Structures are given as C-alpha cells and as structure tokens.
A and B are shown apart, each in its own frame.
Chain A
C-alpha cells in the first residue's frame, strides 16, 4: 500500500480506496494478517470520508472585481 497518506486524500480518492478495501475483504482472497491490516485501513478511510462529509457548510460570497481581477469578496445573505 504505497499510496498517498489517507489524510491527504480527496473525498473521491478515499471513497475509491474504501471500496477497493471492501471488495478485497469480501472476496476473501487476502491472507489473514493482511485482512487485519486491511480492516484497519478501511476504518481509517471511512473516518476520513465521514469527516469530509461532515465538513459541509454553505458560504456564499460575491466577488468584487476591478478591471477583470478579483480584489475582494462580499458575503451574501438571503439568496
């Protein structure tokens, strides 16, 4: 498992990795020791995915532009 650390994964990457782990485990072709390691990795991936999903906050801002460049933002309410 020489992939990038779970903490750096995007949601989609973590989700894909989690699915791969589940598939491997369900197919039951892995060695016993490896299945334990896979279980732990799966748990970590699941926690990472759940954290990403929890982080779902709406924030709407309006760009202030000058001559085609964004120079700041103004929060928008009530849209």
Chain B
C-alpha cells in the first residue's frame, strides 16, 4: 500500500526496515534455524566476570563463534570450558542486536573425546606439579598403627565394605566415615570439605581426630572419577596435615589426587592393608622377641660362667711362671766359671801379641837417635845465648848512661819541694801547740767561778755562819705554831743533826723532805 503513496522515494519495490526490525528478523531466523545445535571446536579466550556468566570463544582453524553460558548453566556443567580444550558444546544460536553479533548460548560442554580430556588432565597436572603440590618432600609417613582412621567415601557400596572387612581381618580399629558423593557435580566439593573437616577436628575433642585418612572410590569411567581430578580436591589432599592414602578407581586409573596424597593405593582393599599391620603377626613377633630376650639373657649368663671356668683353668701355676727364669739363672751360673778363665786367656793372648814388639834393642836405638838430636840442639842453644847476652849488655850500657843525669835532675827538684814543705809544717806545729793550752785555761777559770757561786748560794754555807734548819715530823718548820704542833723536832747544824723530844729522826724521811724545801730558806 505504501507503494502508491510514496512512489518517488522508492527506487524499487524493496520493503524498508528499521534497524531494530531487521535485527529482530535476523534473530528470529537464526533462533528458528539453530534452536538446538551441537558444535565441536576448540575453546578460545575464556572470561568470567563478576556477574558469574561465562563468555568464551569456540573456534576452528578458520572461524570463531562467540559463546555464552549463563550463571545457572555454568553451575550445572560437568566440565568447565578451559582455553585450548577441544569440546562439543550443546546449545542454541541467538543474536545480540546491540553489537550486530550472533552467538551460541551454551548449555553444556563435553570434552571432545577421551584424548581431549586426557590432554586437559595432563595440563592441569603439570600446572599443579609446577606449584610443588606433588613434591616428594611433602609426603608424610603413614603411621604404623593408627588409632583412628577417617574414611572419605560413599557410606553405601562395596568400597567401604571392602575397607572395613580388610581392617577387621588385620587389626580392628575405630573408623570414622565421612559420607560424600563420589561422582557428579557434588563430588569434588564434598570430598575436599571432608578432607578439610577431618583436619579441622581438634586433638582430644568429642569426635576423635583421625591418625590417617583414606579417600576411596571404586572403579569407573574417566568421567565418573573426574571429581578426584578437580583442583580443590587435589589442594585439600596436599594441604592435609593428617597422612592421607588415596584409593580411587582400579589399579589402572590414575587421578590427580593420587599425586597429592601421601600414598596411593591401587584399590580400597589395598588402602586398608597399608593402613594397619596384621595384629596376629605382631602378637607373634612380640612373643618371639620376648622369648629371644629370655634366651639371650640365659645364654649370656651361661657364656659368662663358662668363660669364668675356662679362664680359671687357664690361670698358670706360680712354678710355671718362674720356671724358665730359674733355669736361665742356673745355666748362667754354670757358664760363669768357664767364661772367666776364657776371658783371662783371651786378654793374655792380646797382651803377648802387643808385648812381642817391645825389645831392648829397639829402645836403645831410639835413645841414641834422640841423644844425637839433643846434642845438636844444645850446641845451637849456647851460641844463641851468647849472642843474646851481648845484645843485652849493649842495651844496658846505653840506658845507664842516660839514667845518671836524669836522676840528678830529679833529686834537685825534690830537695827544693822538701824545704818549702818543712817550713809550712813548722808553722802549723806552732799553732797547734798553742791552741789547746789557751782553751783549757779558759775552761778552768769558768769552772772555778761557777763553784764559788754554788758554795755561796747553798744553805750549808749559811749553817757555817751560825744558822740552823728546824724540821718537825720530817717537814721544815718555819714558825712557832708549827713547832708546837710537831711531836718531834730535828735541828740541823753545820756539823750534824740534833733530835729534840721523842726518838731520833728517821734519816731517810729528813733527807727526802730537805730537797724540795731548800728554796724556802731564801
């Protein structure tokens, strides 16, 4: 109908769309044609923003298709697309009109064949190994006899039955089973949580902390076992502080947890065998050791007893110790007499051999030779002596002639010196004679004067002039009152003492008192 209304604007009979109309039309066509497709290709760039949706490319050698998995779809996926992985993606095509793009909404991704899955596994293994998670130095020894064993597995099924059965046979223990899904989406997070959960148990808590963990699963396809290849499981196993045995699948199946575990068991039954020793064997061994202790001790005592007896038998008698020495001594004594005679004979022979050369003729000849030499020397000696004497006489005459004048000079100088010395000596002698005489006369004179002074001052001189000293009871009396009080009076004159009244005065007391009182008389 538009054709007629607006003919000049229409170059042909083509309908005119708006951009949105065309985009919508394309979208309908694409979605209608490719409502459900499976695409095989290599995963290119992968990005997962915070929204949780997964954006990635699918590509082959010539083309690229953008792919999206919404958050809910990603959660349900068995396999996450990873860059470089060959996958078969299932989904539907749609467009994104805002950017003129067409893209694949991916609902599920499956690895394209076992080869691709293995390649991915190998890549992941290499990455974790590079991190050091599989380092042999990290491996912990499995305890010889664990008290409590933690088993991470499905609580139903043959695996746990096999393990418990084998433990029962060998050494019954306490077993804690941490039930987990062993395949499917839930497997990896549950197994990882169980390993961490066992490690989180405190020592001595209500639930005992296991001494050993066994992570076990029966055989299955690569896909069935995939959970044990997941990184969280591998990391949990590597981080476990409790020693961990992995027993996943059959002997030919290897999962990544086997690399991170401390020990890999080919089967769950083998894991139980690694976990505990055989009790009966140990009992036998302990009994055996006990018996050996007894035997060894008894034997040790027996051996010592035997050795003691042997040694005491082997102790020699004293005679045997001295016998040899005694015999040697006897032999020596016997040989001593003969030896002395032989020694004398040998010395004599030596003496005679030397004495044979000592003859008188030889001596005489020697003496005559020496006598000749003596005479010759004597003649030379006389001549030499005469010469020597002549030289000495000549020298003496020479000296004598020089000696006389020298002596005369010496004498003349000496007699002069003597005359001067004698003069000085006389002078000094005169002074010496005079000095002591003068000094003595002076001293005598001073002595005489001093003595005269003494006599004049002494009270005894006063007595001669008619005075007297009166003493009463030994003390000097100078007044009448004192004299009357005294029992006995003693009067000293120049020629002696007279006692008046009482007995005679004690001479000792009187003399003693007289000294100090002398001064009072003056």
Contact = CB atoms under 8 A, between A and B. Distances in A.
Contact of A58 (B172, B282, B285): B172
B292 A26 contact: yes
Interface residues of A, number: 40
Given A70-B201, A73-B207, A76-B155, A46 B303 contact: no
- B interface, size bucket: 35 or more
Interface in B318-362: none
Given A43-B293, A76-B155, A61 B176 contact: yes
A7 interface: no
Interface string B305-318: 00000000000000
Nearest to B282: A53
Interface stretch (B160-168, B243-251, B429-437): B160-168
A57 B172 contact: yes
A26 B292 CA distance: 8
Interface string A43-75: 100100110110011111111010011101100
Contacts of A65: 178, 193-194, 197
A10 B144 contact: yes
Nearest to B304: A32
B282 A15 contact: yes
Contacts of B145: 10-12, 52
Contacts of A49: 282, 286
Interface in B24-71: none
A22 B173 contact: no
B127 interface: no
Interface string B293-305: 1101101110110
B306 to A, nearest CB: 12
B173 A56 contact: yes
B227 to A, nearest CB: 16
- Give the interface centre of B160, B172, B193, B297 by most chain A CB atoms within 10 Å: B297
Closest A-B pairs by Cβ, 8 of them: A58-B172, A12-B144, A25-B296, A68-B193, A42-B293, A46-B290, A49-B286, A26-B296
Interface of B: 143-145, 155, 160-161, 164, 167-168, 171-179, 193-194, 196-198, 200-201, 206-207, 279, 282-283, 285-286, 289-290, 292-294, 296-297, 299-301, 303-304
Interface of A: 10-12, 15, 18-19, 21-22, 25-26, 28, 30, 32, 35-36, 38-39, 42-43, 46, 49-50, 52-53, 56-63, 65, 68-70, 72-73, 76, 79
Given A28-B299, A35-B297, 11 more contacts: A15-B285, A25-B297, A39-B293, A56-B279, A60-B164, A61-B174, A62-B176, A63-B176, A73-B176, A73-B207, A79-B161
